[in-house]
Chain A
Amino acid sequence: MEKYRLITKVESSRSSGKSGVLEDTSFIAKDNITTKGTFTTSGSLMLSNYKSPFDATVVDLLEEAGLKLIGKANLDEFGMGSSNTNSYYGSTLNPLYENEERVPGGSSGGSAAAVAASLASFSLGTDTGGSVRLPASYCGVVGFKPSYGRISRWGVIAYAQSLDTVGILSKDVALAERVFNVLDRYDEKDPTSLPESIRGQVEKHQHLSSESKFVIGIPQEFILEDLTAQARSQWLQVLVKLLKAGHELKPISIPSIKKLLSSYYTLATAEAASNLSRFDGTRYGFNDEEVKETAYKTLTENRSKGFGPEVQRRILLGNYTLSSESGNHYLKANELRQRLVGEFNETFRFYNPLLSEYVSKSNGCDILISPTSIDPAPTIDEYKSKSKENFLAGYINDILTIPASLAGLPAISIPLPAAKQGIQLMAQYGDDKTLLQAAKSIEKLLI
């Protein structure tokens, strides 16, 4: 267990309520999801002593369904990173590789590793720009990020909450779906929770059948030059299998994707700078206990000592973005986001329940497909030396995962064991059930 660096092992004293649909299943939660009575550190020195006075809604719901929380998983500090090397508690290792020290991906690296190492049946992660899907891809497990607003964020320590989504990591799609069914409900404590009325609308118009043949779109923008030759050939084999299974493949284009990376980092770092303003060590969290001349000095010292370098870098970036001299990048990035949503709406057959009443379209894709990551998990040394060269290197993988984050779409990574990486499927906003249906049938083709 030490190898995967669970941050907190939760003792059995924590009662898991009544019996339910998922009785006797154990789970591990990413340590940025609050759990009463145990530590919730967010992988940071800043919260290394922090015990939340309340449980996250997701933890409440799972425990009510009879599940047992058995531990809290390591992560990149406050969810910032894609390798799980940015944790105050050290790096998590990837269980897929017996004798090598490879990264598990991030930021939900501990959650993915815990499932891959069979420490628990499933785990909860959070996904802001790919933080569930990338580690799932690297660790060879399923990683599902539902539509934004389907699962409550009450009790999720915010990184960038216009993007933050609770996700599920498990060995197979079926279990992820069962867990999702428990968590997929409106929560009045979360102002961004999808209202009952829209949930009802979506359900009314979804038509699911187990033998569906899907129209699968392949965004041109995802045919990346950065894919390794091996990844490319694996990818082609997958497409062939899909065709053979009777699905229809359709090349499509989402032009905005090319410009998304800077928008994503503008939004994510601006929100992070804002959200992390609260951590000053005065009410809770890290405090170096030295008496300073001014209150202001207390705040700045606690923050300078309590945050790791990547978190500090993103706070600086975000504050620059929001500063009056930088221009209104945050608002501009949001405009690009709107355009992206529009392009996805034109691509999918299903309507966008947030933007319009139901319209029936005869053409359009059911789901989109792409690789989840451009390569399999790098070794820790490779990763670190690349980051040293250029700290932006860690951001490259995000290109594949951030479109679904920015548009709030449901997306899932399913393992392609032969390539030691994952395949990502995406569906229209709110259409999570169709996505899971497709994932279950495609999952069988990949083994």
Chain B
Amino acid sequence: MRHIGRCLLPVRRSFSQYTNAARAVKEDPRWPGWGVVIGIEVHAQIKSRRKLFSSANTSDLTEHPNTRFVPYDAAFPGTLPNLNPRCVELGIRTALALECQVQPRSTFDRKHYFYPDLPSGYQITQHYAPLATDGSLQLSQGDAKVRIKQIQLEQDTGKTMFDPRRRVSSIDLNRAGTGLMEIVSEPDLRSPEEAGDYVRTLQALLRSVGSSDGNMEQGSFRCDVNVSVNRPDAPAGTRCEIKNLNSVKFMMVAITCEVFRQIELLEKGLSVPQETRGFDEAKAETFSLRSKEDAPDYRYMPDPNLPPLLLDQTYIRDIRKSMPELPPETRSRLLAQGLSERDADVLMAIDMGREVGYDGSLGHGAVAYFDTVARGRDSKIVVNWITHELLGQLTSRKETFKENKLSAEQLGEIIDLVQGKKITGTSGRSLLRHVLAHNSSESPTKLAEQMSLLVSESDSTSLRTWCKQIIAEMPEESQAIRNGHLNVVNKMVGRVMKLSKGRADAKAVRTTLETLLATK
């Protein structure tokens, strides 16, 4: 719990690396004559297989309570911490993605407080020397860059659940000792919307480097927000910290409520006391949790079990080399490949939903899928097949992209068959539906053969035969066309298509029908 507002004090740095150290106050119609200053402290769970200092596996919310811990996590006497290098690696990936300075030497320190879900009575964090400092994050809207003060590794706590009916607290240690990255921004945000943008951009970034799944609802990504208001050109106001916000939406609402509350106090001539506040989602208001005076004394000390973490440049360089592509890079690459902004955004939005693998393995999302299919093919055609046909089918099947059973190879083959005019577009779509419905791993070429979808030499003769048959079956409609009611043609085209099981080309059917009916 680092107090971000402290950095509001005038120039602590002797040099200013960034130009937005004092971003101008933007006039906001919601609160004319007031400026808003926001800093955010994020606790993101590291997506590692094992915990930060123990051999126990990390858990998600599906595990039974107290099934994922070893004696160390329960603070059994005589146990000792053992730093998980995967956590360090993922911390460094995050630091590099946020353009931070990775520190060659950082330390592990103890922060003490008594709580039943903190078994050792202290949390190991990096109080005196954090893993990385001085980074920045470019917001997606506008050109604002938010400075990142520091990133530190620390342990998550267990969970306390209170059953008010039985008046019993239960402790679950599954989460105890899981690695967290505490990512602290400078107070560079100026509106609730910017704060929302910051959090979403950060989530996407962590997911893209595989360091966290960034899930706010499930608690693997938690935000504490520092808010203050001030008159333009006046020094920053007193901040309040809002804790325990479970979604970006509620965070933005909470900030807005807090801004109004602080303005109201100041306009009445009162002062804003520095305190920690909670947020009541139902009432849409913040409420006091504790004042500055009640803040516990954490009695920090260097952890005598853990030597300083020394990172040499080669190690950091190797991690930098193996860094996955970051969202802004992905976006510009997709645009350069000829995708429209809309298509790129659709792909990347779906990509956000991909499973983040453990220990930095990246998992395959929509972008990777697109990349595989687009290799050697026309990007625009490929993206159309993905966004229109595949996603459309998945949506109607009420499936997400994660559940997609059509492999990139299969889709590539379908596209090749259609582009090579071996099958019609309609046949291509029905092949795609077939694979999804039957979870088939068969090659589309073979499936097309089995389903007699391949366009053959004789198909042009077949076309005439099919058309003739339908004319014979639909004498009334045929007569109507002959009488000049051309809108009836569509109905007959549909029947021919059905008869041909989609092998016929709709345009060709229409021409053939018109020819046959006109020459009569």
Q: Which residues of A contact B (CB under 8 A)?
A: 33-34, 40, 42, 47, 50, 52-54, 56, 153-158, 160-162, 188-192, 270-271, 273-274, 277-280, 282-284, 295-296, 298-300, 319, 322-325, 330-331, 334
Contacts and interface: CB of A to CB of B under 8 A. Distances in A.
Interface stretch (B69-77, B463-471, B503-511): B69-77
Interface stretch (B119-127, B390-398, B433-441): B119-127
A192 B305 CA distance: 6
Interface stretch (B19-27, B108-116, B196-204): B108-116
Contact of B82 (A153, A191, A330): A191
A323 B299 contact: yes
Which 4 pairs between the two chains have the least Cβ-Cβ distance? A277-B121, A322-B299, A162-B304, A278-B75
A156 B119 contact: no
A54 B71 contact: yes
B313 interface: no
A280 B119 CA distance: 9
A242 to B, nearest CB: 36
Contacts of A331: 302
A154 B110 CA distance: 19
A53 B71 contact: yes
Interface in B73-129: 74-83, 110, 112, 114-116, 119-122
A157 B80 CA distance: 10
Contact of A322 (B81, B114, B300, B304): B300
Given A277-B120, A278-B75, A278-B77, A189 B301 contact: no
Contact of B121 (A162, A190, A278): A278
A377 B80 CA distance: 35
A42 B77 contact: yes
Given A271-B304, A283-B119, A323-B297, A277 B77 contact: no
B307 interface: yes
A274 B121 contact: yes
Q: Interface residues of B: mostly helix, strand, loop or mixed?
A: loop
27 contacts: A33-B78, A47-B77, A52-B77, A53-B71, A53-B76, A153-B80, A155-B78, A157-B77, A161-B305, A162-B304, A190-B80, A191-B80, A271-B304, A274-B110, A277-B120, A278-B119, A278-B120, A278-B121, A282-B171, A283-B74, A283-B76, A284-B74, A295-B160, A296-B114, A299-B114, A330-B301, A331-B302
A277 B122 contact: yes
Contact of B112 (A56, A190, A274, A283): A274
Say which size band chain B's interface belongs to. Answer: 20 to 34
Contacts of A271: 301, 304
Contact of B114 (A34, A192, A277, A324): A277
B75 A34 contact: no
B116 A295 contact: yes
Contacts of A158: 77-78
Contacts of A56: 78
Contacts of B110: 274
A40 B76 CA distance: 12
Contacts of A278: 75, 77, 119-121
Contacts of B71: 53-54
A188 B83 CA distance: 11
A189 B74 contact: no
A89 B74 CA distance: 26
B169 interface: yes
B175 to A, nearest CB: 15
B69 to A, nearest CB: 10
B306 interface: yes
A312 to B, nearest CB: 15
B171 A156 contact: no
Given A189-B80, A274-B301, A280-B121, 8 more contacts: A34-B78, A54-B78, A153-B80, A157-B77, A191-B305, A192-B305, A280-B116, A330-B302
A366 B121 CA distance: 43
Contacts of A283: 74-76, 119
Nearest to A278: B75
Interface in B113-155: 114-116, 119-122
Nearest to B108: A191
A191 B307 contact: yes
A52 B76 contact: yes
B354 to A, nearest CB: 35
Contacts of B302: 330-331, 334
Contacts of B80: 153-154, 189-191
Contact of A34 (B77, B169, B297): B77
A322 B305 contact: no
A331 to B, nearest CB: 8
Contacts of B301: 270-271, 274, 322, 330
A408 to B, nearest CB: 12
B121 A192 contact: no
Nearest to A295: B116
A280 B122 CA distance: 13
Contacts of A154: 78-80
Contacts of B76: 52-53, 283-284
